[in-house]
């Protein structure tokens, strides 16, 4: 049964999508069967893997609200060799639509992913920058949460809120939810700030923090505009090396 990992942090711009896309690609190139669920109406992961270039018909909105088989919302890519349930802007209305359900509004994604999770080794959910019902659905469906933390001044601010949301979902809907790992992103080795944030995060999250950190790298920010992951865009870049190393850590943690 595939492991479901929600990539989440309610702060925007911390590297959730960059991590979802490039970790997914790295795992896929390591021969793991990978599904990305783009759960952010901004659809950056969908763009980032180049799915828009080959056309999107069904989406994560349909996964939530339509009667079609879950597998029919999945789009298969050959480069990178993974699958994605793309997002469209329709998803922006999903929170409100789900809130009108009388029962089971937190379980919609979980029930739908149950139909297809056997087809994959890992399912990565790229969460939106909020703590609404989309995130609650992702946490209820997931086995674990991977938290990207940007190496900047307010890095830890907001994590308290994220952790208490995770605890609430644990208590109410998903006892087995755990923290998959905390990932330091946009690390700049030349600044004291990055080093300080790293120390603080490692002190707080201890061995839950990945050994790998993701360096700040222009290549990582350029790749999505081509609809490429870092491995097609520049496989020798520091970003590619870092995400490949993260993928190995994730695999090792799940052996």
Q: Does 17 bind Mg ion (CB under 5 A)?
A: yes
Q: Which does 14 bind (CB under 5 to 8 A by kind): ligand ADP, Mg ion, none?
A: ligand ADP
Report the 10 Å Cβ neighbour count for 236.
7
Pairwise CA distance, residues 23 & 4, whole Å: 13
- 121 touches 2 (CB < 8 A): yes
Pairwise CA distance, residues 105 & 201, whole Å: 33
Q: Does 189 bind ligand ADP (CB under 6 A)?
A: no
Q: How far is the CB of 137 from ligand ADP (least distance, A)?
A: 17
Distances, alpha carbon 133 to alpha carbons 2, 26, 72, 137, 190, in Å: 23, 29, 23, 6, 39
Q: Which does 214 bind (CB under 5 to 8 A by kind): Mg ion, ligand ADP, none?
A: ligand ADP
Of 203-222, binders to ligand ADP (CB under 6 A) are 214, 216-217, 220-221
Q: How far is the CB of 126 from ligand ADP (least distance, A)?
A: 7
- 127 touches 40 (CB < 8 A): yes
Among 178, 183, 252, 182, CA closest to 215: 183
What DSSP element (H or E) covers 180? strand 178-185
Of 116-155, binders to ligand ADP (CB under 6 A) are 129
Q: Does 228 bind ligand ADP (CB under 6 A)?
A: no
| Contact track, ligand ADP, 7-46, x by CB under 6 A | -----xxxxxxx-------------------------x--
Of 31-70, binders to Mg ion (CB under 5 A) are 44
Q: Which does 194 bind (CB under 5 to 8 A by kind): ligand ADP, Mg ion, none?
A: none
Q: Does 16 bind Mg ion (CB under 5 A)?
A: yes
Distances, alpha carbon 147 to alpha carbons 15, 76, 166, 205, 211, in Å: 9, 26, 11, 11, 14
Residue closer to Mg ion by CB (options 16, 117) is: 16
Beta-bridge mates of residue 123: 4, 35
Token pair of 191 as six digits: 């600044």
Select the residue whose beta carbon is closest to Mg ion and give its number: 17
Q: Would you tell me which residues interact with Mg ion (CB under 5 A)? A: 16-17, 44
Q: Residues in the site for ligand ADP, rule: CB under 6 A?
A: 12-18, 44, 129, 185-186, 214, 216-217, 220-221, 224
């Amino acid at each position: 049964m595939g492991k479901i990992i929600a990539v989440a942090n309610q702060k925007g711009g911390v590297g959730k999508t960059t991590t979802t896309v490039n970790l997914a690609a790295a795992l896929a190139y390591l021969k793991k069967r990978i599904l990305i669920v783009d759960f952010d109406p901004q659809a950056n992961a969908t763009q980032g893997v180049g799915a828009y270039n080959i056309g999107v018909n069904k989406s994560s909105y349909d996964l939530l609200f339509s009667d079609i088989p879950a597998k029919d919302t999945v789009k298969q890519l050959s480069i990178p060799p993974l699958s994605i349930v793309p997002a469209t802007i329709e998803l922006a209305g999903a929170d409100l639509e789900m809130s009108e359900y009388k029962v089971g509004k937190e379980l919609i994604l979980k029930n739908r992913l149950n139909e297809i999770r056997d087809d994959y080794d890992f399912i990565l959910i790229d969460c939106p920058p909020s703590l609404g019902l989309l995130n609650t659905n992702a946490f209820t469906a997931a086995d674990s949460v991977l938290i990207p933390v940007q190496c900047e001044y307010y890095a830890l601010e907001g994590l308290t809120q994220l952790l208490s949301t995770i605890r609430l979902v644990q208590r109410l809907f998903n006892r087995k939810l755990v923290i998959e790992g905390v990932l330091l992103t946009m690390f700049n080795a030349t600044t004291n700030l990055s080093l300080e944030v790293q120390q603080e995060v490692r002190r707080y999250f201890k061995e839950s923090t990945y050994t790998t950190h993701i360096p700040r790298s222009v290549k990582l920010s350029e790749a999505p505009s081509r609809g490429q992951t870092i491995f097609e865009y520049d496989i020798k870049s520091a970003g590619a090396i870092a995400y490949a190393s993260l993928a190995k850590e994730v695999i090792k943690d799940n052996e």
